[in-house]
Amino acid sequence: MAVDINKIDEIISSHERSEESLLSILQSFQRELNYVPEEGIKRLSESFGVPESRIFAMATFYKALSLVPRGRHTIKVCMGTACHLKGGGLILEAIERELGVERSGTTKDMRFSLETVNCVGACAMAPVVVVDNEYHGHASPSNVHNILKKYE
């Protein structure tokens, strides 16, 4: 996939040139490009004089940053204690089957990225599936399709 170098440079130059800006630049990459591209890390390293290995390490440390492009929507299946007991695992399997994608993966059409999380703080609604920022409680393998269909 072609990366937009201009966009990368634009993001870099809109931040102050100090090490403290590194994380927020990586977050901007994630927000605006949907991932942290290799080219972005390279250019950041060159323009800030910070070793590439250090920036790469940062990008691997935070869960909120992804090294591969993410889908337009993010599905989080809760695997916290309550959801786990209420069948969170089965929901996950159902979604994997429905979308033909594995945990931590992204569908080929870039529509969804699938993740698991450990508790979203909505245990009363267990099992919970969160799509983007919308909570879907009392999920079941049979209503997975209905939950997902409105996201394009």
Q: Which residues bind other proteins (CB under 8 A)?
A: 38, 41, 51-57, 60-61, 67
Output 5 or 68, the one with its CB closest to other proteins.
68
Q: What distances in angstroms separate CA 126 from CA 16, 56, 99, 103, one per listed residue?
A: 44, 36, 22, 19
CB of 62 to other proteins, least distance (A): 9
User: Is 107:148 a contact under the CB 8 Å cutoff?
Assistant: no
CB of 151 to other proteins, least distance (A): 30
Output 79 or 128, the one with its CB closest to other proteins.
79
Cα–Cα distance for residue pair 133/76, rounded to 1 Å: 9
Cα–Cα distance for residue pair 148/133, rounded to 1 Å: 13
CB of 46 to other proteins, least distance (A): 11
User: Is 105:114 a contact under the CB 8 Å cutoff?
Assistant: yes
Output 14 or 60, the one with its CB closest to other proteins.
60
Output 53 or 81, the one with its CB closest to other proteins.
53
